[in-house]
Structure 1
Amino acid sequence: MYTIFVGDKPIYLTTKVNKETDFKVFLLKSVDLAKIIRMLNRTDLKAVYLVGKKEEKLLKIFLKKLPNAIAGGGKVYNKKGKILFIYRNHKWDLPKGKTEGKETIEETAIREVEEETKVKYLKIIKSLPTTYHIFKRRGRYRIKITYWFEMSTNYKGKLKPQVKEGITKVKWLGKKKTAKAMKNSYANIKLLVD
């Protein structure tokens, strides 16, 4: 099963149909995705299930329904075990951004963390789950596919938010402050942090 977020509401891609209660079920192949997005944005519906036949084809079929934006990002730990967060659009988030030119997704993730926070000496430790969310740009819906990496750094310098990207704060947060920040974050970020 795959989860794609519209705001904080999930669209689940699955091969199994459950009995409907506070969600709706549609066939993946024939669904009008714009209608589903509007429904999730404008009603109190909690989730949507899109059902397909083969597990291995669910995501491929879904990703063809809208233009894709590819991004890379990092869940960065310092030597004290604190996590690097940015504050943008009144929510706590992890640094991430779109790929440029022919860079690898790992290069994108490191570049974006550096640009958005000024943290240097980043080292990728391992891959984290990929997240998917739908957003609107210039009147069109798109699917952002974000490849995440756990990173470490021994950087002790000053943090500096990339203001032109709408980032107003950059902070290292320990366990208690991270838990508090997750109350004002995005569903896909909560998946990576919890």
Structure 2
Amino acid sequence: MYVIYINDRPLALLSKTEHRTGALAQEILNSETHLTAMYSGKPRTLLHYADMLEKGSPKVVSVAIVAKDLGDLWKDFQSHYRWLPAAGGVVRHRELDKHLFIFRRNFWDLPKGKIDKGEDEPTAALREVEEETGISDLTLGKALPTTYHTYRNRKEKRVLKPTYWFEMDTSQSALVPQVEEDIEIAEWRTISEVLAGPDPIYKSLRFLLEQVL
């Protein structure tokens, strides 16, 4: 199964087997605003559902598309987008037992950024955390679930951005937010505090962090 966030709304791609066994996370579903559709095998039809979520209709806030072959469905979905991979870190402070968050463009976020040519995912994740928050003393941990979201670039072209996440830890407390990347605050906070707080956090990150708790 793949869950892609479009305008902060989930579009799930899943196989018939996954659909039968209820693999789709219950928190994504709301019977009144959720739409499930069988894939016709025609790639153009996928844009109908993507556009529905992108436009922000209050009637449909989540979509699941079910196919016999998930690999073919995923390949057809990707064919409509430019692939732009990124990597980032979920960083825990060893002594404080808190995690690193940044506040950017009115949302709580995690440090992440585009993977440079020739980089692998862990190297890019470590580099981005250091650049965005000033932490150089980092220990890389295990890989976490990949998140996916879409957006339009300046030429109105569709972009699909996978973000490869890694656990990291550190004993370094001082933080230096990268203002050039519109980061206003870098702060050590508990995950539960951020998820329960009044300030917004992207749903893809909420889903990721709930698995870290």
User: Alpha-carbon deviation of 1:46?
Assistant: 1.7
What SS class does the counterpart of residue 177 from structure 1 fall into?
A: helix
User: Alpha-carbon deviation of 1:152?
Assistant: 0.5
Q: Unpaired segments of 5 or more residues in structure 2?
A: 21-30
Matched, 1:43 2:57: yes
Contact 1:182 1:190 in 2 (8 A): no
Q: What is residue 185 of structure 1 aligned with on the other side?
A: 201
AA aligned to 1:22 is: T
Q: What is residue 153 of structure 1 aligned with on the other side?
A: 170
AA aligned to 1:96 is: K
What SS class does the counterpart of residue 184 from structure 1 fall into?
A: coil
Separation of aligned partners in 2, 1:100 and 1:112: 10
Deviations 1:152-187 (A, max 9, x none): 111132x11111111111100025533334861011
Contact 1:92 1:181 in 2 (8 A): no
User: Alpha-carbon deviation of 1:193?
Assistant: 1.0
Matched, 1:107 2:123: yes
Q: What is residue 4 of structure 2 aligned with on the other side?
A: 4
What SS class does the counterpart of residue 132 from structure 2 fall into?
A: helix
Matched, 1:23 2:34: yes
Contact 1:92 1:182 in 2 (8 A): no
Separation of aligned partners in 2, 1:113 and 1:137: 24
Q: 2:183 aligns with which of 159, 167, 182?
A: 167
CA RMSD of aligned residues (A): 2.1
1:55-134 matches, within 5 Å, as: 55-79=70-94, 80-134=96-150
Q: Unpaired segments of 5 or more residues in structure 1?
A: none
User: Alpha-carbon deviation of 1:28?
Assistant: 6.3
Separation of aligned partners in 2, 1:66 and 1:28: 19
With normalisation by structure 1, the TM-score equals: 0.89
Task: Using the aligned pairs only, state the percent identity.
Answer: 35
What SS class does the counterpart of residue 103 from structure 2 fall into?
A: strand
Number of positions where the alignment pairs a residue of Structure 1 with one of Structure 2? 192
